[in-house]
């Protein structure tokens, strides 16, 4: 079914239902909003978003903030009026600005009873399987302790070859990493139009569409701010990437009063790009179809029952045999005693370590290996069932 006004494919799921059901939410705020178009950090605006995050947290939602603004804040502190082009100058600005950015978020969130943590990521952190799992475990632990991770790209150490390129992309990758329900991209624009409304006043606003519709990319224009690096096209591509793990995306004006509470209440604000598959379906498709198996573990019948019927993680004590030469973070199969595959998941331990852990209690891991990454061989969040 198509929207007659925009010609875009409409999603099967109602946007209001998607928004209201979101429990784990990634919020990305652009440089132009955080720094008031480059004039230093906007304490009032950041305080407002912190207040809104606190309201969502009281409702039992898990929240991650991806905040731009470090380089812009660093430019102000260094007295630079034009964004530098040299990498070492950009990294210097980021190093200076990151201090103020983290301090501002920490102060504002603490005012509303929320803890915060600064997390700086590079593309390499998410490309390497082991670092991917480490980042995921750290972020999930922070969320479990009601701490809001404030994430930014680690601009002080990256080069052009390993950059995310913009925080819209980073927000989408974090949504994939944490299997978020919703990515909210707050920007200085109302949302997406069928054309650039500054050049074509007759352009129609796009209230809802299916994430990944190729016509969205044709509608998106270039960068619209002198402070940030992304434009509408980066937001459309971020929504497409986030949809790969089942997360829907909202692109909305960041200074809309109470934008976050109103969104999760199901109100129509900005452009809602709905993922074509619910989170669990997308996760299962990713695990079962797009990753090569690196090995397998055979488990006993008790472990099979806990996996299939109780939604439990796979513990070492349930393992009886290990196949292959996989590493931590590789996708492996979980097999029943008769050889049938019952699940797949990301291994917390390499094959050589897993062989030492077979039939062992989780409390023995540190004694046997000299360290304990996780108490599980495969955490339930990193596991999908492949048998009924």
Give the H/E segment covering residue 120.
Answer: strand 115-121
CB 313 within 8 A of CB 301: no
- What is the overall mean pLDDT for the chain? 87
Are 34 and 40 in contact, with CB atoms under 8 Å apart? no
CA distance 357 to 343: 19
pLDDT for res 61: 96
pLDDT of residue 381: 84
Flag whether pLDDT at 289 surpasses 60: no
Torsion angle, CA of 325/330/335/341, rounded to 10 degrees?
Answer: -120
Read off the pLDDT band of 228 (50, 70, 90).
very low
pLDDT given at position 314: 97
Residue 162: which pLDDT band, with cuts at 50, 70 and 90? very low
**Strand blocks (E) in 50-91:** 62-67
Q: What is the mean pLDDT of residues 253-261?
A: 95
- CATH tag, 291-385: 2.30.130.10
Is pLDDT above 60 for 298?
yes
Whether 229 has a pLDDT exceeding 60, the answer reads no
Determine the pLDDT at residue 224: 43
**pLDDT the model gives residue 349:** 96
> Looking at residues 294-306, what average pLDDT do you find?
96
Residue 191 tokens read as 């949302």
Tell me which of 2.60.120.680, 3.40.30.10, 3.40.120.10, 3.40.1160.10 is the CATH number of domain 15-283: 3.40.1160.10
pLDDT at 159: 59
The pair of three-digit structure tokens given for residue 233, joined into one six-digit string: 């096209």
Mean pLDDT of 93-105: 92
Stretch 66-86: mean pLDDT: 88
DSSP state of 223: B
Residue 164 predicted with pLDDT over 60 = no
- Which two structure tokens, joined as six digits, stand for 151? 């994430």
- Angstrom CA distances, 331 to 53, 285, 307, 364, stand at 34, 13, 17, 24
Predicted confidence at residue 388, as pLDDT, reads 56
- Mean pLDDT for 121-126 is 80
Residue 255 pLDDT > 90, yes or no? Answer: yes
Map out the domains of the chain as residue ranges.
Answer: 15-283, 291-385
Lowest mean pLDDT among 73-77, 134-138, 277-281, 342-346: 277-281
Give the distance from CA 201 to its chain's centroid. 34
């Amino acid at each position: 079914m198509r929207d007659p006004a925009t010609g875009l494919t409409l999603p099967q799921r109602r946007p209001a239902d998607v928004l209201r059901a979101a429990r784990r939410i990634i919020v990305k705020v652009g440089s132009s909003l955080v720094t008031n178009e480059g004039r230093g950090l906007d304490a009032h605006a950041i305080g407002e978003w912190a207040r809104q995050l606190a309201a969502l947290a009281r409702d039992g939602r898990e929240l991650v903030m991806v905040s731009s603004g470090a380089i812009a804040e660093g430019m102000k502190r260094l007295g630079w009026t034009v964004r530098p082009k040299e990498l070492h100058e950009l990294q210097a600005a980021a190093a200076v600005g990151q201090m103020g950015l983290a301090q501002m978020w920490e102060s504002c969130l603490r005012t509303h009873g929320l803890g915060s943590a600064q997390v700086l990521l590079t593309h390499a952190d998410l490309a390497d399987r082991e670092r991917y799992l480490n980042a995921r475990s750290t972020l999930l632990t922070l969320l479990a302790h009601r701490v809001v991770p404030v994430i930014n790209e680690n601009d002080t150490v990256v080069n052009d070859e390993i950059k995310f390129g913009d925080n819209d992309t980073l927000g989408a990758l974090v949504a994939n990493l944490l299997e978020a329900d919703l990515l909210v991209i707050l920007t200085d624009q109302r949302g997406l139009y069928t054309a650039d409304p500054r050049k074509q006043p007759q352009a129609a606003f796009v209230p809802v569409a299916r994430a990944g519709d190729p016509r969205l990319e044709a509608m998106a224009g270039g960068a619209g701010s002198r402070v940030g690096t992304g434009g509408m096209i980066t937001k459309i591509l971020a929504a497409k990437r986030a949809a790969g793990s089942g997360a829907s995306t909202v692109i909305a004006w960041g200074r809309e009063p109470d934008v976050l509470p109103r969104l999760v209440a199901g109100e129509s604000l900005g452009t809602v790009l709905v993922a074509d598959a619910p989170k669990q379906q997308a996760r299962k498709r990713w695990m079962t179809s797009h990753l090569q198996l690196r090995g397998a573990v055979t488990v006993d019948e008790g472990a099979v029952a806990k996996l299939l019927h109780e939604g439990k993680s796979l513990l070492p004590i349930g393992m009886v045999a290990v196949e292959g030469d996989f590493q931590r973070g590789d996708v492996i199969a979980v097999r029943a005693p008769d050889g049938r595959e019952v699940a797949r998941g990301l291994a917390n331990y390499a094959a050589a370590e897993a062989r030492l852990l077979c039939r062992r209690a989780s409390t023995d891991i540190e004694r046997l290996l000299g360290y304990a990454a996780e108490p599980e061989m495969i955490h339930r969040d990193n596991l999908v069932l492949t048998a009924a």
